[in-house]
Each structure stands twice: as C-alpha cells, then as structure tokens.
Structure 1
Amino acid sequence: MIWLPAALLAGVAQAWRTAVQRRVSHDLSVNAAGVVRYLYGLPFAVMLLCGYRLVFAGPWPSPDASFLLFCLGGGLAQIIATNLLIMAFAHRNFVVGTAYSKTEAVQGAILSFLLMGERLHPLAWAGIGCGVMGVMLLSAGGRQAGFVRSLGQPAALCGIASGFFFALTAVAVRRATQMVGGGDPVLAALVVLVVTVAMQAAMQGGYLLLREPEQMRAVLRGWRVSGQVGLLSALGSACWFTGFATAPVALVRIVGQVEVVFTLGFGHFYLGERMARSEVMGLMLVVGGVVLALMGSL
C-alpha cells in the first residue's frame, strides 16, 4: 500500500508547488513557466535517486532500451498538458479550466483500461466519479460557474485536453516503471523520473533557447524562487511516479486530488477565508470518493 501515502504526499507537494510557481509565472511565457519545473527539478531528482541508492543498496536494474520511448512519450505529454492548462488560465476562466482538467482521473481510468487492460472494482469507479464531481465543485471556489453551459468555452476545451494528456502521462510513466523491472518499484520510479525530467528539460529548454532566448534568461535570473519550484516538483513527481509504479493510475490520481482539499484548507485556516456551502459539499464528495476508491482496491 505504498501508493496511498505516496499519492497523498504528491497532492501536498503539488499544491505547495503550484502556490510557489505563481510567484515566478507572472513575467514568464507559457513555455518558460513550464521549463522551470524541469530545469530546476532535474538536480533534485538526481539527488533523490542517489540518496535512495545510498540507503537501499542493491543491483541496478537493466531495463530494455524501449522504456526510453515511454519516458519520452510521457514527458512530452506532460509538457503539452501543462501548456494547455496554462492556456486555459489565459482565457480568463481559471475556474472552468481547472475544473475540467480534473476529469483526468476518469480519462486515466479509461485510458489505462484500453491501453493496459487495467480493471477496477465498481466501487473504485464510483469513487472516481464522486471524487471528480467534488473536485470540480471545489475548483469553483463556491461560485456557480455553469460547467455544462461552459463546455464550449476555450478554457473548458483546453482543460479537458489538459486532463487527457495528464492521464496519458500517467499511463506512459506506469508502463515505463514496469519495464525498468528489478523488483524495487521505488527505485524504478526514481529511475524513470530522472530520465523523463532530463528529456523534458532538453525538449522544452531547447525550444526556449531557440524561440524565446530572452525568456530563458528570465528563467535563469529567477533561480532563487525557481529552485523552490524545482524541489517541490521533483518531490511531487517522485511520489506520483512511485504511486503509478505500484497501483492503477486512476486510484493514484483520485487520492492525489486531495491537493485541492489542502489548498482549500490553507485558505480557510491560515488565510481566514470563509468556506461556502458548495465547498463543504465538494469536500465531502472528495473524501467520499477516496473512501470508495480505497474500498474498491482492497
């Protein structure tokens, strides 16, 4: 059951990383804001792998070279998903874009069934649906956003597409960790993490150097805050990848969506923001969804 604490920690790290990344994204382009995660996350990913090997010695796995294709595919899908989500925000409807991107858990369950044959218990499916509805309510921040009516908005379309590519990322990462082998899923997850982040830094960093060199200079100038983003991104991805290596994609994602709950709790208890009735209902749906998903996984 290592996937459960891994998914919870991933949700915490992602919520924290998102909060910090807002400080560096105001003056950066879409690609520059994305490359911060990979360029500054790579050194920390390498340190996590080396630190794990110091504590848990053993033979290195010897994966087939074809696992690199899944790392490449997953890394590219994550870049596209992140850019689509930022584009959704750019359409001035943060609520709609975020909410529709949270359909990722449902899309991930469907993709993992179609591509990998992963089957889920009916209770797990019920939990996924319940959790997605709860997260969409929480993403609304207590406002009546009219999600169905807004389906044709650019923000909604970008959000749904973002969720699809995030789900595709998860499926590719899970397949890559399975191909690493070696009997240690945590080590496999960290190996895939380092390879994937290195590819992402090369792909998006190279594009930035060629097309937006002034943005690359801005990314390098902001190394103090960007370093925090990289650390949190590496920690969060290490937890996500560990979860994907040890459990079905959809279960990991639905539990990891508690990041929205942590964000809401931070606003309520630390910032003193009032909690709307719809947010309480969303919170109950998310918790209920996690419980159902866990019952279905036992």
Structure 2
Amino acid sequence: MIWIAATLIAAAAQTFRNAAQSGLTRQIGTIGATSVRFVFGVPFALLALGLAALAFDIPRPGGTTLAWAALGAGAQIAATVFMLITMRGQSFGIATALMKTEPVTLAIIGAIVLAEPLGPARMGAIVLATAGVVLASGARWSRASARPVLTGIAAGALFGLSSIGFRGAILSLPDGGYVIRALTTLAITLGLQSAAMLAWMAIMDRPALRGIVGEWRVSLAAGALGAFASLFWFIGFALTAAANVRTLALIEVPLAQILSGRVFRETIGRAQLLGICMIVLGVGWLLAAA
C-alpha cells in the first residue's frame, strides 16, 4: 500500500507549498503566483530525473504519453482559472467545497476513459467522503449563486481530468518502475506547463514575469515544494486509480479543522463535526475496498 504513504506525503507537502504561494499572490498577482509552481518546479524535477538516470533507464515517451501529459497539463491550468473565478464570486468555504467534488467526477471519468473498475463500494466511499467535505466546509449554501457554483463544479471536474491525464501518461510509458515513470511524467508535465505560462506572461502579463524573477527566493521554495508534492501525487497515480488517491487526500480537511480548533480556538459546529466523521468513514471504507 505504498500509494497511501505517497498520498499522505503529497498532501502534507502541498499544504506547505500553498503557504509559500499565498504571500506571493499579494506581491506579484494571481498569474505570477500560479506560474511559480510550474516554472520554478521544473529545475528540481529535471535534477531528480537526472539523478535517477544514474541508476535507472529513463523510459522514452511516445506520442501517446505526450498527448496524455498535455491533457493533464492543460486541464490543470484551466481548472486553476475556474477555481480563481469561483473564489472571486463566492465565499472561500463554498469555493473549497466545490473544488473537493473532484473525486466523484474523477471516478466517473476514470471509469469511462481508462476503464478503471467502479464498483458500488468504491463509489459509495467516494460519495460519502465528498459529501462530508461539503458539510465540513461550513459554507452557507443559501447564499450561493448559480454561476460560481457551475464554475466551481467545472474546476473540480477539470482537476479530475488533469489527474486522469497524468495517470494516463504514466501508464502509457513503455517500461520502468513506478518511481522512474512518475519522475519522467512529472518532468514532461512541468515542462509543458512552464512553457505555456511563460509564453502567456511574456505576451499578456509582463509585470507578473518581472515579479517572479524579483521574488525568486520565495518562488524557488514554492517550486521545490510543488515539485516534491507532485512527485508523490504521481507515484500514487502510478500505483492505483487516481480517484483513490484524491479521495484519500480529503483526510487533510478534518486534520485542518482539528488544527484550527486546537491552535486558533475556532469552534466546530455540529454539521462540520458530522462532515468530518463522514470523511473519515468514507476514507476508511475506500481503503477497505481498495
């Protein structure tokens, strides 16, 4: 069950990366802060792949691998755009809850595109954990308007599609163990995303491009953490269905709620407590069924 450990490591590293990126948004804007995880993550991915090449043969990606990687890279960028639109139009709680619908759409897309088995036990666990996130978010849904809800669901679906693209790229590589295939896919994906973001900033947003250069120290830390987190996400995708990985990652929600209660003395309502219990039960059910 290596994928479980990989997923938990990825979720923890992603939390630290988000913290590093959060301050950059105020200083260099949304586009600049978003591009940091890609542009400054590439050197670390290439360095790791180069070191791995000393001990393992690097699998040669073909057209199929590049197509899957491009799908994942493009979907992830588009999902980020929809996520930002949702956060501008709704509260953070509603936006977060909508993003976390990803495992449901991911399971359905995976069953259709990659022919991954979707039995009643797996689907039930995924739905239970996702519904728990909606309750645990504490969002006031009576204030939600239609357009941000749709963009939020679209963001979750696109994040799910990106995970399918990454898993498809990993599985399409002709040979190699799960670590070297994950590293190879990571380097390809970050390369594609960096090229796209740099081209966009060079043409449409020069201040953001100057900003990430000026804030290179913080950007480098965020890029390193982003590449580290992505590597372990990809290791998880190499070993099991992407829906399993993203559902297990929901365990970070109750952990964050517990942390906020202990550290920041924030109260947790009954609905949120019920949501946390649903997440824990859903994740446990998923692990039993996997």
Q: Same fold per TM (> 0.5)?
A: yes
Residue 23 of structure 2 aligns with which residue?
23
The number of residues matched between the two structures is 290
| Structure 1 residues 117 and 11, CA gap change in structure 2 (3 angstroms) | same
Residue 144 of structure 2 aligns with which residue?
150
The C-alpha deviation readout for 1:211-244, integer Å capped at 9, x for no partner, is 0101111122122222222122111111111111
Q: CA deviation at 1:181?
A: 3.0
Q: TM-score, normalised by structure 1?
A: 0.91
Q: CA deviation at 1:272?
A: 3.3
Q: CA deviation at 1:15?
A: 2.1
Q: 1:161 aligns with which of 151, 154, 157?
A: 154
| Structure 1 residues 17 and 261, CA gap change in structure 2 (3 angstroms) | farther
Q: 2:190 aligns with which of 182, 186, 197?
A: 197
SS at match of 2:144: helix
Residue 282 of structure 2 aligns with which residue?
289
Q: Does the CA-based 8 Å contact 1:123-1:295 persist in structure 2?
A: no
Q: Does the CA-based 8 Å contact 2:57-2:176 persist in structure 1?
A: no
Amino acid at match of 1:105: P
Amino acid at match of 1:150: A
Q: 2:80 aligns with which of 69, 82, 87?
A: 82
Q: CA deviation at 1:104?
A: 0.5
CA–CA distance in structure 1, aligned partners of residues 19 and 46 of structure 2: 24
Q: CA deviation at 1:7?
A: 1.2
Q: 1:213 aligns with which of 203, 206, 209?
A: 206
Q: 1:73 aligns with which of 63, 71, 76?
A: 71
CA–CA distance in structure 2, aligned partners of residues 215 and 82 of structure 1: 16
| Structure 1 residues 9 and 289, CA gap change in structure 2 (3 angstroms) | same
Q: 1:108 aligns with which of 106, 109, 123?
A: 106
Q: Does the CA-based 8 Å contact 1:20-1:229 persist in structure 2?
A: yes
Q: Does the CA-based 8 Å contact 1:135-1:282 persist in structure 2?
A: yes
| Structure 1 residues 50 and 258, CA gap change in structure 2 (3 angstroms) | farther
CA–CA distance in structure 1, aligned partners of residues 87 and 205 of structure 2: 21
Residue 7 of structure 1 aligns with which residue?
7
Structure 2 portions without partners, runs of 5+: none
SS at match of 1:252: helix
Residue 59 of structure 1 aligns with which residue?
57
How do residues 110-259 of structure 1 correspond to structure 2 at under 5 angstroms?
Answer: 110-140=108-138, 143=139, 145-146=140-141, 150=144, 152=146, 154-259=147-252
Deviates more, 1:168-177 or 1:214-223: 214-223
| Structure 1 residues 266 and 223, CA gap change in structure 2 (3 angstroms) | farther
CA–CA distance in structure 1, aligned partners of residues 269 and 62 of structure 2: 52
The C-alpha deviation readout for 1:60-91, integer Å capped at 9, x for no partner, is 22232331111111101100111111121122
CA–CA distance in structure 2, aligned partners of residues 102 and 239 of structure 1: 19
Structure 1 portions without partners, runs of 5+: none
The C-alpha deviation readout for 1:34-58, integer Å capped at 9, x for no partner, is 111101111222233334445xx23
CA–CA distance in structure 2, aligned partners of residues 118 and 94 of structure 1: 33
Identical columns (%): 31
Q: TM-score, normalised by structure 2?
A: 0.93
